[in-house]
Chains A and B, each alone.
Chain A
Amino acid sequence: MDKLTKERAEWIYKKMNDIRNFEDEVHQIFSTGSIPGFVHLYAGEEAIATGVCAHLTDNDYITSTHRGHGHCIAKGCDLDKMMAEIYGKETGLCKGKGGSMHIADIDKGMLGANGMVGGGFPIAIGAALRNKYLKTDDVAVCFFGDGAANEGTFHESINMASIWKLPVVFVNENNSFGEATPQKYASGSEHIADRASAYGIPGETVDGKDLTAVYEAAGKAIDRARKGEGPSIIECITYRNYGHFEGDEQKYKAKEGGEKKLADRDCLKEFRKYAISKKILSAKKADSIEADSVEDIEHAIKFAEESPIPKPESLYEDVFVD
């Protein structure tokens, strides 16, 4: 596994800031009515997407979830085109025809956010099957929420990945709630990673607010997958800053106790402090990354707002390959 070098720490901190700023801005803009549809924000979970994707190249694949902006940014998708997509503009990553829930960029190995909870599992093992069949050392990472862990696709896909020793890592973002229902209520096992033993693969539960914990666990599992030793499950305990979707009153969230403590943690601040203490990030550099990120997101918003809406004839385009 590659060490957390200065260069890597700076990359991670920039991506974490991009995700946070992107989502905070989308939250604001959504409330004004400029963004249509359903939006599910990733803010609060930045350590996971960045800690995992830091180990990936453009040749590696990821599948994402309905809460997919963070994965997109961490996998290297263009911020301007992402924002334009969420606005439903012609210049969007998907020409405005996918939106927040289907944002994707196959050229970057990003196989799509997914409006179907649990929809990513079989697609990820298919990409991993391709990697294995073509004898590459590329991997696939399947991000999934705690809610998705209770879909049938979880079982079928992880079992198949195990029997075929596919190069895939299943990264669970356990943010404590599947929509408005607590994970503790919906899952028979305390930890989703505990289920790994049933499939004969490694499973590990880590602190999803701690970048270094995610980074290390992901590095180990991805190395293992690259070496052809098979899949793993990593469960990252985290919490989302916003609701399930924008407009969610979040009546189910606790106002005190352990859950509140988890909610109040800020993975960006924690990583900044850690990286500075380990001298892999200077305070000056951290400040400039934060300023750059704000500027980049402002640029993305301007780009999206100034972009044209899709042409009417595009309604009929791209249903089939001609």
Chain B
Amino acid sequence: MARRITFMKAINEGLDMAMEKDERVILLGEDIAGGAGVEHLEKENEDAWGGVFGVTKGLMPKYGRERVIDTPISEMGYMGASVGAAATGLRPVPELMFNDFIGFCLDTILAQGSKMRYMFGGKAKIPMTIRTCHGAGASAAAQHSGSYYGILASIPGIKVVVPSNPYDAKGLLIAAIEDDNVVVFSEDKTLYGIKDEVPEDYYKVEIGKAKIKREGTDLTIVTIGKMLYVALEVADRLSKDGIEVEVIDLITVAPWDQETVITSVKKTGRLIVIDEANPHNNTATDIASVVGDQAFDYLDGPIKKVCAPNTPVPFATNLEQLYLPNADRVLETAAELIDDLKK
């Protein structure tokens, strides 16, 4: 049996192994080591933080400050520098501390990194993995809790992955770093502590391929990131009533796995998408649109979305819990779809 490690440790290990394998892999970000230039830390070759959550802890002492680069608080500067370094042959992995800071550096992704290959007639390669974190549930309030992977997923030329568990996190991160394109790797900050079995080897999880986490015949629930756990709880509860839910962990939101989702919907005839992002123009909306177009004749009811409301993330704990999609909300939605099954 493989050892059990946390989501955070799995990401750290993925970075470590990718750096060990390829010297062109460098990390950049704010306090990803911490304490740059501090005499007593330099003397002991120690990092102060290893990132604000400690995800990159220990990598600077192992690989040095040339490869684990603490940047000034200058998101557009170091994100753009990562594009430049990637275009000229390195494989940078910049960390955007919270995805909510995307506004500071969006140009470098939206107008530069994602378009260079196309604009330059196929001559450029931008092998760059942007690590960032999203998600409500940590009482971090409106500017540190949003989920913006869907916004990034709407930009042509970038891939966006959202792992839900330690095994996928490590394998997806390695796949992202080996990928010759811009990949956004969005971590849910509330998952950092969860543990699961993770092999010690260097392995990849395929980008663009969803995983069926539970098979079922009556209802398909597609999830992104930690919404998987909501769906699994719903599936357990509905199973007691004899209703079998197929749960699909989307894993990649751009390009999302249409084949797996559509095949499942054709089997079950019912679809709920759970997406923590705000409800308009998000990934769930896109999935609903594509499934409506491709599998309309197989549907036994309307496609349902369970998302965050169209509000910023509130601070108060009770409101934040109301904001997040939960099993009760999904069950209410499921009830609308499966009334006929119960009868």
Contact = CB atoms under 8 A, between A and B. Distances in A.
Interface of A: 61, 63, 92-98, 102, 104-107, 111-112, 114-116, 119, 121-131, 133-134, 140, 152-153, 156-157, 159-160, 163, 317-321
8 closest Cβ pairs, A-B complex:
A126-B84, A122-B80, A156-B77, A94-B121, A95-B121, A126-B81, A318-B122, A123-B84
B231 to A, nearest CB: 30
B74 interface: yes
Contacts of B122: 95, 317-318
Contacts of A94: 119-121, 123
Given A63-B84, A106-B87, 10 more contacts: A93-B121, A105-B120, A112-B119, A116-B111, A122-B78, A124-B84, A126-B83, A133-B66, A156-B72, A320-B157
Contacts of B156: 319
A93 B66 CA distance: 35
Interface residues of B, number: 43
A181 B18 CA distance: 48
A119 B81 contact: no
Interface string B47-78: 00000000000000000001000011010111
Interface in B72-124: 72, 74, 76-90, 92, 107-108, 111-112, 115-124
Contacts of B197: none
Interface string B195-211: 00000000000000000
B81 A157 contact: yes
Contacts of B89: 130, 134
25 contacts: A92-B121, A94-B120, A97-B121, A98-B119, A104-B116, A104-B119, A112-B116, A121-B77, A122-B83, A122-B84, A123-B81, A123-B87, A125-B80, A126-B85, A129-B90, A133-B26, A153-B107, A156-B74, A157-B80, A159-B72, A160-B81, A318-B118, A320-B117, A320-B157, A321-B181
A93 B120 CA distance: 7
A256 B157 CA distance: 49
B84 A160 contact: no
A108 B89 CA distance: 14
A2 B83 CA distance: 32
B80 A104 contact: no
A110 B147 CA distance: 36
B304 interface: no
Contacts of A95: 121-122
B16 interface: no
A119 B157 contact: no
Contacts of B300: none
B180 interface: yes
A123 B119 contact: no
